[in-house]
Copies of this chain bind each other. A is one copy, B any other.
Amino acid sequence: MPRADLLETFENPYRDREYEIHMICDEFTSLCPLGGIETDAAELALLKGGAPDFGIIRITYVPAAKCLELKSLKLYLWSFRNDGIFYERAVNRILDDLVAACQPARLEVVGDFNVRGGIKSVITARHAART
């Protein structure tokens, strides 16, 4: 299960200026609960949890009081490795977890997933603090 408890933050060193942090992780992988568009039942039994999905996660945020600690973000993204999760849920889940961790002014998560069944999927979700 994705481990939001792994996420750590540090004090934003430049609170009086709005600035933007963009992070790209090319090595995101999780499992597809149903084996996905390209996997049959026999394969699923073998894999105990689903067929592997691969993608790129792009995160862009404007920090408020806290910044996301880079190493903890890496570990958090690794924690999806053996979980079965659909694309839409993965992207929205990451958005929820990061927003909860650092309470940013704005935050966007893009999940850019590899071709499956000849179709590529890119999911984009955004959060903005109420002002």
Contact = CB atoms under 8 A, between A and B. Distances in A.
Given A13-B89, A52-B81, A88-B67, A117 B74 contact: yes
Nearest to A53: B27
Contact of A70 (B67, B95, B121): B121
Contacts of A89: 13-14
Tell me how many chains of this kind the complex includes: 10
* Range for the number of chain A residues in contact with chain B: 35 or more
A118 B27 contact: yes
A38 B75 CA distance: 12
A14 to B, nearest CB: 4
Nearest to A70: B37
Given A27-B54, A27-B118, A43 B126 contact: no
A69 to B, nearest CB: 9
The 3 closest A-B pairs by CB, nearest first: A19-B125, A38-B38, A22-B122
